[in-house]
Amino acid sequence: MCCDSSPARAGPPERRGRALAVFDLDGTLSRHDTLAPFLLACLGRRPWRWPRLLLALPAAIRYLFEPDRGALKGALLHAALGGLDREALQAAAARFVDRLVRGGIYRDARRALEAHRSRGERLLLLSASTDLYVPQIARRLGFDVCICSQVAWRADGRLDGRLAAPNCRGEEKRRRLAELMEQETPARVYAYGNSAADLAHLALAQEAYLVNGPRRLSPAAAAHVQRLRWRD
């Protein structure tokens, strides 16, 4: 299991041909977004860092005129956590993931995961959230592989926080899934998402599920996705 899936072009024989179940994280597996709670948890132990959030203000203002979620996400991480060492952040992620897995995952999502796992299908966690904690979530929930946004690190081993690659959302998420599908040629793809941005990669699946999603969809999207309501 890895964060940024980059198998060989043809894919290992044991992966090729197996069905693939793809799950988004925020709002699909989890009951809420994860980035803000993770930042709050980190800052709660380092209250002297709160003023550093002012460093992200220019990016927040730019976002009002040029919406770029990746740039804003990177600016927030850089401001809040930039300069922290890897060990401290891994420990913070472990605490955060422990709380999330114990109380923040839909039971219906766990049931769906178990159903796919019991049929021998590979599980992919595909998230715009970052590799500061997503790989730990993937390991705890038994995913085979995860793909997520990647943060940059400084030469001294401390966090920069800005994104090291395109934000794994919308068309980028679709591109990354399409690349994996080409490499592994799964027999069938099941995909779960919760937002309009997820429709891009849901379109690649033979069975696409929109969890607690927006009420209004284009006719094409409405015809392709099945709606699910996860409450507990």
Mean pLDDT per 10-residue section of the chain, whose length is 232 residues? 46 73 98 96 95 96 96 98 97 98 97 98 98 98 98 97 97 98 96 97 98 91 94 84
Closest CA to 206 of 222, 225, 220: 225
pLDDT of res. 17:
78
Angle, helix 86-103 to helix 35-44, in steps of 10 degrees:
120
What confidence score (pLDDT) does residue 116 get?
98
Strand segments (E) across the chain: 20-23, 122-130, 145-149, 151-153, 159-163, 189-193, 207-211, 225-228
Record the pTM. 0.92
Q: What angle do CA 139, 143, 147 make, to 5 degrees?
A: 90
Domain 20-228 has CATH 3.40.50.720: no
State the pLDDT at residue 231.
Answer: 87
What does each C-alpha distance from 12 to 16, 60, 129, 136, 138 come to in angstroms? 6, 43, 27, 24, 20
pLDDT at 6: 42
pLDDT at 126: 98
